[in-house]
Amino acid sequence: MSSERLAAYLREVRREVDAALERLLPAPGGPAGRLVEAMRYSVFAGGKRLRPALVLLASELCGGARELALPPACAVELVHTYSLIHDDLPAMDDDDFRRGRPSCHKAFGEATAILAGDALLTLAFEVLARPPCERHAAVLVAALARGAGAAGMVGGQEADMDLAGEEPTAERVSFIHSHKTAALMGASLRLGALAADAPEATGERLGRFGELLGLAFQVTDDALDAEATSEQLGKTAGKDALCGKITYPAVFGLAESRRRAGAFAEQAIAELAPFGPPADLLRDLAAYVVGRNM
């Protein structure tokens, strides 16, 4: 596996997705200009564009056209960004920093941050309904909504919050991770497959890869929060334990968590067997998410 090959690919995706997001986001100015400023502030905060890369890689693997995969790639990033904005709010995780700079509500106030999140979520669906995606709109919107909504990401955030302070159990942390993080990562790959008109079984397999990748990612995130400093993370570290959050380290300890993150990555990679070498960048990604230190 080559981390250089992956790094080069992610740089290229980031350039391409950022340019597409620039075109999709409304222009600043007018009586609601502050809203647009806040949307742009958070979208262009230096994210790694991991989820868009998953959409594009799935589409490439299924022989899809780039121009049909780019809008869903942007849509998942818009959903991811909205979720970070709302998560950081004082009523939620109360984080003043995100990616090393003030979180949206610290920069623009809580009300604008709430509305900016709402507007980004709405824009995500709009992007899937407009040319060139209109032919796929129904399946794309349904897949994104399932990953992002009450049965996916938002449900996971609710459980993450409600279960804080409760006894950490394997069942509980599994529910939280599979909903909060894995659902949207799975949806990212499904969207790429759908945009490429891939057979349903292919989309399902890639979706399972994405969900396992998401689990590997979130377990690693939990471990990093327990180990790293805030400077390394670009956000407040050690908060999970402080807030009584149910995390992998809280249930299994740090060493076993790291081991299980690796096991999820291996299971994810196993799903890719039928695709052969063209899936190598996805394999690199699975290795990367458990090896990262931020």
Binding positions for a copy of itself, rule: CB under 8 A: 26, 30-32, 34-36, 39, 82, 86, 89, 91-92, 109-112, 114-115, 117-119, 121-123, 125-126, 128-130, 133-135, 137-142, 145-146, 148-151, 154-159, 161-163, 172, 175-176, 179
Distance, in Å, from the CA atom of 25 to the CA atom of 38, rounded to the nearest integer, reads 11
Q: Count of CB atoms within 10 A of residue 294's CB?
A: 12
Residue 212: name the closest of 24, 10, 54 by CA.
Answer: 54
Q: Considering the complex, state which of residue 162 and residue 256 has its C-beta at the smaller distance from a copy of itself.
A: 162
Distance, in Å, from the CA atom of 119 to the CA atom of 253, rounded to the nearest integer, reads 39
What is the 3-state secondary structure of 50-79?
HHHHHHHHHHHHCCCCHHHHHHHHHHHHHH
Q: Considering the complex, state which of residue 101 and residue 135 has its C-beta at the smaller distance from a copy of itself.
A: 135
Q: Is 101 helix (H, G, I), strand (E, B) or coil?
A: strand
Question: In the numeric block, which tokens belong to residue 23?
Answer: 């075109």
Task: Kindly state the smallest distance separating residue 283's Cβ from a copy of itself, in Å.
Answer: 31
Question: In the numeric block, which tokens belong to residue 45?
Answer: 């905060």
Q: Considering the complex, state which of residue 114 and residue 254 has its C-beta at the smaller distance from a copy of itself.
A: 114
Question: In the numeric block, which tokens belong to residue 195?
Answer: 């945009």
Q: Considering the complex, state which of residue 8 and residue 91 has its C-beta at the smaller distance from a copy of itself.
A: 91
Task: Kindly state the smallest distance separating residue 246's Cβ from a copy of itself, in Å.
Answer: 10
Q: Considering the complex, state which of residue 66 and residue 135 has its C-beta at the smaller distance from a copy of itself.
A: 135
Task: Kindly state the smallest distance separating residue 180's Cβ from a copy of itself, in Å.
Answer: 10
Task: Kindly state the smallest distance separating residue 152's Cβ from a copy of itself, in Å.
Answer: 9
